[in-house]
Structure formats: C-alpha cells, structure tokens
Amino acid sequence: MRLLYQTHSPFARKALVFALEAGLGECIEVVHHETSPTLRNEAVYAQNPLGKVPVLLRPGLAPIFDSDVICAYLDALHAGAPLIPADGEARWHALRLQAVAQGLADAGIKVRWETVRRPEALRYEVLREGYTQKLVESYDWLERELDTDSPLHVGHIAVATALSWLEFRELPDFRIGRPRLAAWQDAFERRASMRATPLSGQTHD
C-alpha cells in the first residue's frame, strides 16, 4: 500500500501514527505530496476528489480517504488488539475524542487562515476569535474528559497528533492551566510512532 502524505498535515500524520501503532508500518510506502486549497495537486485529485491527503492507495482496489476511514480500514488488517473499540461506551468515547481532535485541527487551520495565510486586508478578526474559542473550549474539555490511563485507542492518536500540530503552528497554547492534558501529551510525544513522524515544512499556497 502507498500513503499519500504531507509532513505538515495533522490528518496525514494521524493516519501514519495509527499505522505504526498497529504494526503496519512496513506494509505502507509513504509518498509526500504538497496540497492546499490554492495549490492544485493533480496526482492527489486523481485519487481523491477533495484534493486532500491522506489517501491510502491499495493494489487493485479503490483508494481510501480521509484519515478516519483510513484508520478504520487499517484497524481491520492487523492481528493485535483493536485500536477502535468494537462496541459499548469505550467505542463511543474513542470516536468522540477523535471527533474533537478533528475539530481542533479544522479550527486551527481556520485560525491560521485569518492570521497568516489570508492577505492581511481580507482577514476577519471576528471569525478568528470564534475559531480560537473553539480551541480553548476543546482544550478545557480534554483536560476533564481525556481517558489518560486507558489502553491506546484511535481517540488518543487523533488528540495527540492534533495537539502536536497546534503546537507546531504556534496556535493558542493548550498547556496553560491544563497540567493533566500537558503531561499526557508530553508522554505521548515520546512514543516511537510520534518520534518517527516529526512535523516539518510550511504550507505552500
């Protein structure tokens, strides 16, 4: 399999960290592609009509996208304990964490549009403040709700990769006043899967 990837995408990193945690790293060739809403990448559009990474290319089968779907697919391929709980409240908690993490990354991207990416004359401060509030509220929720002592699951991977990206982009600091979340993130950053997938590079528009 090949994973269309971008070294500064929180979504692509989530899929790759998941693959490594599932023991599938040797089964996947990582292929870097630069994409953004203003930089059309024909190779990515050929596999995903949204023109976004990650995309998982499977020999003889249709490509799979986005990161949630890729993780679900990969979870069916390995022999270890599922990283997406199969049923019960554990499943819904993990998927709820994944949803919050996806929202964090989405909100962070929108904050960046209104601070550094959009031409200054076109930036909308009220919108930036609104998305910043989503970040702050989600940080506070994670400080209360993150299951820091339970076995690894997809929600943990999604949260860790989203927080790592927010810190990489110097977006509002999740560490201030949230010691439990900060300590958990520090520990997760030391995992081999995170050390093997460092964030790097800038978005090209």
Strand order across the beta sheet in which 55-57 lies: 29-32, 2-5, 55-57
pLDDT in tens, 134-184: 999 999 999 999 999 999 999 999 999 999 999 999 999 999 999 999 999
| pLDDT(41) > 70 | yes
Give the model's confidence band at 203: pLDDT under 50 very low, under 70 low, under 90 confident, else very high. Answer: confident
Give the model's confidence band at 205: pLDDT under 50 very low, under 70 low, under 90 confident, else very high. Answer: low
Sign of CA pseudo-dihedral 113, 115, 119, 120: positive
Rounded CA-CA distance 9/172 in Å is 18
Could you give all domains of the chain from N- to C-terminal order, each with its CATH number?
2-75 (3.40.30.10), 88-195 (1.20.1050.10)
* pTM score, whole prediction: 0.96
* Closest-CA residue to 159 (of 194, 127, 129, 128): 194
| pLDDT(70) > 80 | yes
Mean pLDDT on 58-62: 97
Give, as one character, the DSSP assignment of residue 56.
E
CA dihedral 63, 158, 130, 49 (to 10 degrees): 0
